Structures are given as structure tokens and as C-alpha cells.
Structure 1
Amino acid sequence: MTTDRAQSPLRVVLTDLNATVVESWRAAFADTPEIEIRKGSILTEQVDAWVSPTNSRGLMDGGADAAIKRHLGAGIQLKVQRAIRDQYAGTLPVGSAVCVPSGAVNPRFLISAPTMQTSSQNVSETLNVALACAAAFQAVHRQNRLAPGSIRSVALVGMGARTGRVPARVCANLMWTGYTLFTDHHFEDYDDLRATVLGQLRDIEDAPATTRVRINAPAADGRPRR
């Protein structure tokens, strides 16, 4: 894992049809004014990449996934599942993501990051939102490493807040954690990302719903910096 503070600014849009999610974002990201937050459909956002919270098999059959598949066409699911098959032998672990060309002018890329293993799974008692959000932003890093500047803007919905039944405020705070991890660090692989997130958020279940946690970079000995 490396720090990546010198990266070009990424325009980030958080958009959702759920007003409670939007208000929770406004609270969680109150000290992060560069983030654009609004109530609306991700399908109207003019950005380089949309992030779709999915399941480990890439079945786009519910929530934002289904709306995006209707908008971009059934072929987008085939692209996502082909990437999952080629890169992960058919099962995309939570805390990983794939980025595929959409075949459309807007967005040019779709990033699929699972918040759950199977469709309609309740993930309200897990750290899956933080893992998925961090993985989605890691996918931006990886794509821009392959083709510098190819993703300069990205839009996300409330990850896990609908199908996954994660409370809006918890969703917002975990997405804040995922975003700040992106701004501070670049991981060499998703295994490193998952270990870092889980290692430092393991006790968050006992904290109040308003708690935000910024993840620290591990020191040379692998332990979090103080």
C-alpha cells in the first residue's frame, strides 16, 4: 500500500432517490465540501464512471444494478460477469471491484463493487459498505494507472442502503470512510485493502451510528500508525 496524495482531483458525485440517504450524506460529508451531493437518479449523471453496488456473481437484478442494466442494455451484465470470471474465477469477493467499458458515451465505464454475496442479502450488520466503497475507489486508481486520466469523475448511490437494508446514517459514514481511504492511500491489491479496512473497523459495530472512522496507513511493521 502507498500514499497517493499527489493524484489529480477526482470529481465525486453522491446521488440517490432516497432523501434520507441524501441528508445522511450531507451530515457525514459536511467537512468534505468537494463532494457533490444531490437527490436524483444516477442515470442522469454526466461522469466518466458509475459505481453500481452489486452481488458477488454480478447479477444485475435489483436496485441500482437493475436500473443501470435497463439503461445500458443487457450486455452490460455480460461484460461485468465476464470480468468477474476472468479475474476472480466467477465470484467477486466483497472488498473487490471490476471496472468495465460500458459501450456508451456516458458513462464510459461501469464499476461493479459487491455489497453482498447473493441477491437481496441483508448486510446491515456487516462492514460491507465500507469494503465496497473503498474497493470502488480502488478500481478508479487501477483504471487510471492503466490509462492515466481515463476516470476523472465518478457517481455513486447509497451503497447497501436499499437492497442491503443498511441504515442511511451508517451507510453514509461507511462511505465517508471509503472515500477518505481513497484520498489518502493506494493499495497494491484488494487483499491488502480488505485486511486494512477490517482490521481497523472491526469494533465499529459497538459505536454510535454517528461515528465516522478514518483509516490510518499501516506503518512499516504492519500496525496502524497512531
Structure 2
Amino acid sequence: MANAWLAVADGRAGVRVHRGSVLDIHAQAIVSPANSQGWMRGGIDAVYATAFPQVENNVRSAVLALHGGELPVGEAQIVATGETEPAWLISAPTMRRPGERLPVDTVHPYLAARAVLMLWLTGRLEDGTLVRDAVHTIAMPGLGTGVGGVAPSTCAHQVAAAWDEAFNPLHV
């Protein structure tokens, strides 16, 4: 995944590639390429659920309370991790159901990345603080590249397209 990120990172200010665990990055927020129901039982989500014992309950509660039980692919929700760093987890579904294998021609990594970036640009925390004022670094793993089966290069190119749309809308 790191090689795929490196292939698209050049020329995109603010993008840094880290080789290793996403949990090793000093960040205020971490991205969960979740499923729409907020279950965190597989892939990187299971790692997050172990590292942050309250987070799955926080995601599920937010999905139920704010999204009627299903956070659609293409939307994102920020919740507290229960830890000081990262303090926030951004749930951005890449699949509707847990364990779903994504089709080769999926655009779900793009939709998830775009949702994360739009949340950062315009979203608010529960206390009304702009997300971008509280979160300066977001750690993002591959989106859909584990359980979903998306090729790392596909993910990286789709995340780059979302980045370009969010931060340089005339580029697309």
C-alpha cells in the first residue's frame, strides 16, 4: 500500500506516506474504512476495536442515532476513540455489509475518501467545533484494500482523485 500511496502523493501538499502501522502515526484522527452498520469485527477495524475498546460502541451508537442504523458509502461520521491520541475516529464505509468483497470496478475508495475530506473541511464535532480546527492530521489506511479486496493502486488513485476534488476542484 505504501508504494501505491507514494506513486500518487507527489505534488499533493499535506500528504505524507508512512510505511508501517497506521496506529504509529501521531494524528488527531484515524480513518476506519468500515461497513455501513458500523460493525468493527474484521480487517483494520478489528485492530481499531482492540486498540480503542469504546470505539465500536461509539460508531454503532452514532450510526443508529444519526443515520437510522446505516451510514451509507459516501458519507462519514466522526466519533471519539476514548483515547487522547488519536482522539477521533472517522468512520467512512467502503462496503455496505461486513465482509463484503468489492467489485473490481468499485468507486467506493473514492467515495469514502471524499467523505472523509468533506467531513474535515465542513463538519463539526458534537460541541460545534469545526473538525478542521480540532484535527490537523488524519491517518488513513488503504480503503477497501483488506477485506474488500481493492487493489492498492486502485485505492491510491481514487483517494488522490478525491484529494484533488476536495482541495483543487478545478484540477478535476
Superposed CA deviations along residues 113-150 of structure 1, whole A, max 9, x for unmatched, are 00000112122321111000111112212037931411
Match among 46, 54, 63 for residue 26 of structure 2: 46
Contact 2:37 2:69 in 1 (8 A): yes
The equivalent residue for 1:200 is none
The equivalent residue for 2:110 is 130
The equivalent residue for 1:183 is 167
Contact 1:143 1:151 in 2 (8 A): no
The equivalent residue for 1:147 is 129
Displacement of 1:184 in angstroms is: 3.6
User: Could you list the runs of 5+ residues in structure 1 that have no partner in the other structure?
Assistant: 1-20, 186-213, 216-226
Percent identity over paired residues: 28
Structure (1 or 2) with the larger CA radius of gyration: 1
Superposed CA deviations along residues 87-122 of structure 1, whole A, max 9, x for unmatched, are 110011000011011121001111000000011212
Please say which of residues 35-44 and 90-99 is displaced more in the overlay: 35-44
Displacement of 1:182 in angstroms is: 2.4
TM-score when scaled to structure 2? Answer: 0.90
Contact 1:54 1:60 in 2 (8 A): yes
Q: Aligned pairs, how many?
A: 166
Whole-angstrom CA distance in 2 between matches of 1:67 and 1:168: 19
The equivalent residue for 1:66 is 46
Whole-angstrom CA distance in 1 between matches of 2:14 and 2:55: 30
SS at match of 1:126: coil
Whole-angstrom CA distance in 2 between matches of 1:178 and 1:82: 28
1:117 aligns with 2:117: no
After superposition, the CA RMSD in angstroms is 1.7
Whole-angstrom CA distance in 1 between matches of 2:78 and 2:100: 23
**Shift in CA distance, 153/143, structure 1 to aligned 2, threshold 3 Å:** farther
1:80 aligns with 2:59: yes
The equivalent residue for 1:167 is 151
Contact 2:78 2:91 in 1 (8 A): yes
More strand by share: 1
Displacement of 1:33 in angstroms is: 4.9
Whole-angstrom CA distance in 1 between matches of 2:141 and 2:91: 12
Match among 70, 76, 99 for residue 97 of structure 1: 76
Contact 2:29 2:87 in 1 (8 A): yes
Over 3 Å off, 4+ runs? none
